[in-house]
Chains A and B, each alone.
Chain A
Amino acid sequence: KAGVTQTPRYLIKTRGQQVTLSCSPISGHRSVSWYQQTPGQGLQFLFEYFSETQRNKGNFPGRFSGRQFSNSRSEMNVSTLELGDSALYLCASGTGTGGNKLHFGNGTRLTVT
């Protein structure tokens, strides 16, 4: 079974630009969640989608948004990039039916200059 795939693996953007990250979940998984990982703040939950609906959202500004398609693939968008958005962005997929047994991708490393 193929794992969770995130693209691109690395990304360099300039402050003020916007960026879109992509996540393909494990086949059959209907839940996709996104996380930001930084050395200072650790792993922080951004939001979760289940069957194309955002079910939960973390404490991040509205510049961070996402969506999920009918095939469960998900995208995350960050607008008006700030230097502090430099981080590893991880997505994870799961059945979404209870508990937190998640399968993570290896992330997209975003650098904002």
Chain B
Amino acid sequence: LAKTTQPISMDSYEGQEVNITCSHNNIATNDYITWYQQFPSQGPRFIIQGYKTKVTNEVASLFIPADRKSSTLSLPRVSLSDTAVYYCLVGDLAMNYGGSQGNLIFGKGTKLSVKP
């Protein structure tokens, strides 16, 4: 099972670009890489998902190198409202891995603090 590692915290200022990297050395062939944002007292909110190379949507970009052993979430021009915890998730919910082992592994989360 892929174990994920991400920084515990990061600080930034409004208007800057923020890059958060997640390491997942044992990622399986069928695993997706997904990032979520969570505010206090709320459930996580989907940001972006990728399998390989680069994915971009209206709020973020996700960079995945060829070996897929890490991924980087890029948030352009952050604002105060981007202050939250960001989770990296590796796995595939639709894949039946069998047995009793979980197939979705969340990172411990990166607490991003954006300052004015």
A interface residues with partner B (beta carbon < 8 Å): 4, 31, 33, 35, 42-45, 48, 50, 55-59, 90, 92, 94, 96-107
A92 → B minimal CB distance (Å): 7
Complex interface: stretch among B14-22, B42-50, B72-80 = B42-50
The listed residue (A31, A44, A103) touching B102 by CB distance below 8 A is A44
Decide: B109 and A42 in contact? CB cutoff 8 A: yes
Contact of A48 (CB < 8 Å), options: B36, B93, B101, B106: B93
Is B96 a contact partner of A55 (Cβ separation < 8 A)? yes
- Check if B87 sits within 8 Å of A104, measured CB to CB: no
Q: Once bound together, how far apart are the Cα atoms of A31 and B94, in whole Å? A: 9
Bound-state Cα–Cα, A45 to B102, Å:
6
Known A43-B106, A104-B44; 9 more pairs at CB < 8 Å: A31-B93, A56-B102, A57-B100, A94-B93, A96-B94, A98-B32, A99-B93, A100-B89, A100-B93
Chain A hits for B44, CB < 8 A: 43, 90, 92, 102, 104
